[in-house]
Amino acid sequence: MTKEDRLILVAPCGIDCGNCSLSMCKDDPELLERLVARGIPRGKLPCAGCRNVKGACPVIAETCETYECIRRKAVNFCHECADFPCAKLCPSSQRADVLPHNLKVFNLCMIERAGVEGFAKVSGDLERLYFKGTMEIGKGPRLA
């Protein structure tokens, strides 16, 4: 994968599509079959990332509202918008144990600070901290 291909896999909302199982299933036939078994249409997999599919995420029926919003406002990332952060980026506890949606604002701040290339280098580590880390009050998540 070229550097440009990798960077285009960072969604406008801050989710790293390059670390998403919907994209990674291209190299993992077992993962592909698990996703299909969960009801994701085989024809929509592997996902090429929301920028490449113009917001047609395989797990939602309609075009992603966040993608449509950044397109209308002619920005590359939500943090570039005058309305940032908006309600579309508000964290939710529902499915937070399996979806990285609560990382969006943090990721966007990292993209703003380190650039999309710098973010792409650490996004996998950030997701591991989120999903596998143990929260230490005052210190943030730590891997055991």
Q: What is the pLDDT of residues 41-72, one digit of tens each?
A: 999 999 999 999 999 988 888 999 999 999 99
SS3 (DSSP) at 142: strand
pLDDT in tens, 82-97: 999 999 999 999 988 8
- Give residue 19's pLDDT: 87
Instruction: Work out the pLDDT band at 142, boundaries 50, 70, 90.
Output: very high
The structure's pTM equals 0.86
Q: Does pLDDT of 4 surpass 80?
A: yes
Confidence of residue 80 (pLDDT cuts 50, 70, 90): very high
Element (H, E) at 135: strand 134-136
Asked if 59 and 100 touch (Cβ cutoff 8 Å), the reply is no
Averaged pLDDT, 116-138: 93
Domain range summary for the chain, segments of one domain joined by +: 3-137
